Amino acid sequence: MSKILIIAGSSESLINFRGCLLSELVNRNHIVHAISGKDKDSKFVFNELKKIGVSYNSISLSRTGLNFVSDLKTIFSIAKVVNEIKPQIVIAYTLKPVVYAGIICRYYKIKFYYPMMTGLGYIFNSGSGFKRNLIRFVAEKLIKIGLKNCNKLIFQNVDNRNTFIKKGLIDYSKSRVVDGSGVDIKKFEMTEIPNIKVINFLCIARLLKEKGLREYADAAKIVSSKFSNAKFHLVGPYDSSPDRIQIDEVELWSDFLTYHGSSNDVQEHIKNCHIFVLPSYHEGIPRSSLEAMSMARPLITTKASGCKETVLENINGFKVSIGSSKELAEKMIWFLNNRNKIKLMGMESRKLVEKKFDVEIINKNLIEIMNL
């Protein structure tokens, strides 16, 4: 039996990304504590984690940007919890918790530290400019410090691991790769494809440029001008990241795309769609795509790291070039002209999830890596 502390960027991710893992750790008789940044879901998460025997506290944690005062507050908040709980094992995921937890684990001489990179995010990907380059430079220095004493750094795709190794942020011997966070295939069960008189395309993503939402909107405009029976839907919350898309811009898409806002019930949206679309520029392994696949929906996504792993080309969907609304529109039109393929390709999505992305498989791999 060990005392384990889980540190996450947001309370929502504790339930959606790691709820099954936390439950499994409790079932293995570990004492599990969890902390995350405080948000609107914190009270709900507290009650949900309490049901499975996990204690939870929210802390001061800004998920995006670099701000000396707020980041210092985050470090002290995490340090206070570590000092009180005195865990033998610390698991952290998303960039800021990974870095700051690593620094704190070194200070408190925590013997076992397992950070997880769920994607490289805004600062590591395309784009330049003084501010972005400065943030990237500072982040890389902090990451190297934070990862110095980690036991294993766990990635969700090989490309992300190779980026860290190439930049000298981690040694190959201390890195491992698992296929994302997994999906609960019992919760996200197969559902019948709706009536195909009207074909519904769905994208679920935070309102960020690098989720490819502008390309999705452009493709929707192209296709809807030619096919009156094609409908386009977007579900996702506003985000405070520097990469954010303002609500005002999303509202300008209303002639050809329906924005449903944020949702706590993505299953209902997936159930009502025919094809799931995620034109992201980069991911770890996108949970939204896995959930749609588990519910037997075909995908259109990009050739980006993390996205390309979810599609077997022309089997359960298609991969298009990053940033290409034209290619995206072409694949949407392909589905409109080949409606008989939708159900068959959706079934292939489900098979792929069962074989590779089932959360039970992922958790087994994680537990083996961390010797829990």
Taking CA atoms, 49 is separated from 18, 42, 116, 282, in Å, by 11, 10, 20, 30
- Per-residue pLDDT at 147: 92
- Per-residue pLDDT at 47: 83
Taking CA atoms, 261 is separated from 234, 246, 287, 292, 297, in Å, by 8, 12, 18, 18, 21
Q: How far apart are CA 44 and CA 190, in angstroms?
A: 27
Maximal CA-CA distance, the chain: 63
Percentage of the chain lying above the pLDDT 70 cut: 94
* Mean of pLDDT over the chain: 90
* CB of 151 closer than 8 Å to CB of 187: no
Which residues of the chain, if any, have pLDDT below 50?
Answer: none
Phi, psi (rounded to 5 degrees) for 57? -135, 145
- Per-residue pLDDT at 254: 94
Taking CA atoms, 295 is separated from 162, 253, 271, 275, 289, in Å, by 31, 27, 7, 11, 10
- Per-residue pLDDT at 341: 96
- Per-residue pLDDT at 62: 66
- Per-residue pLDDT at 90: 96
